[in-house]
Amino acid sequence: AQSVAQPEDQVNVAEGNPLTVKCTYSVSGNPYLFWYVQYPNRGLQFLLKYITGDNLVKGSYGFEAEFNKSQTSFHLKKPSALVSDSALYFCAVRDMGTSGTYKYIFGTGTRLKVLA
Amino acid sequence: GAGVSQTPSNKVTEKGKYVELRCDPISGHTALYWYRQSLGQGPEFLIYFQGTGAADDSGLPNDRFFAVRPEGSVSTLKIQRTERGDSAVYLCASSLNGPTSGAETQYFGPGTRLLVL
């Protein structure tokens, strides 16, 4: 069965410092991996995705994520955090369809708080 | 251009009543998804449409939940005999092509907050 784990409910980081939001996954085949951000009273916004190729994926707003197959991880990173990055971040995984399903599985979310 | 829109933004109903939630996807998007997000949780997949047909409805929790997309654009999620446990934010998303075409990006609407009293 597919699953996603975001082990941290909340991450606090000082403005200007690098940030990491962790995500690990489990799928039966090769994964498609996604990061979304949710601001209060707004829908989820796409940040970036991993399909294949380079393990380092660059996305919106200066975010990037590193795919690590051996550790089954897809951690979200940013070199220098902004107060405006404070939001709820969701990791999601989808099987490539080899298991017969195209469901997206979302993690429980990590609240990022960037302190001025 | 216009994003995904959902109406109503909030819905309060009484236990046992019937509700309909509407989703207008981005124009031209062939795939449409419904999710349910409970407090403190991530979105939980309910159903996925490719065109007019439900390609995967394995996430619908029981037969009180039903969704349609008769013309391949607007979709309606229908909940019969609502229960207090149905209270959640219902999210709709659309993508240009369906998941069989690859790792397509989903674009989410703002959601409908359903409260069953």
Alpha carbon distance B106, A49 (integer Å): 11
Strand ranges (DSSP E) for chain B?
Answer: 5-7, 10-13, 19-24, 31-37, 44-50, 53-56, 65-68, 75-79, 88-95, 107-108, 112-116
A window 26-55, beta carbon within 8 A of B: 32, 34, 36, 41-46, 49-51
CB-nearest to B103 from A49, A103, A108 is: A49
Q: What is the pLDDT of residues A86-116, one digit of tens each?
A: 999 999 998 665 556 677 899 999 999 999 9
User: Are B103 and A43 within 8 A, CB to CB?
Assistant: no
What are the angstrom distances between the C-alpha of B66 and each of A116, B20, B43, B101? 46, 10, 18, 25
Question: Which tokens sit at A10?
Answer: 């909340």
Q: Which of B106, B58, B44, B39 is nearest to A34 (CA)?
A: B106
Q: What is the pLDDT of residues A18-73, one digit of tens each?
A: 999 999 999 877 888 999 999 887 789 999 999 888 899 999 999 999 999 999 99
In chain B, the percentage of residues whose pLDDT exceeds 70 is: 96
CB-nearest to B111 from A43, A45, A94 is: A43
- A-interface mutation test, from B96, B106, B113, most A Cβ less than 10 A away: B106
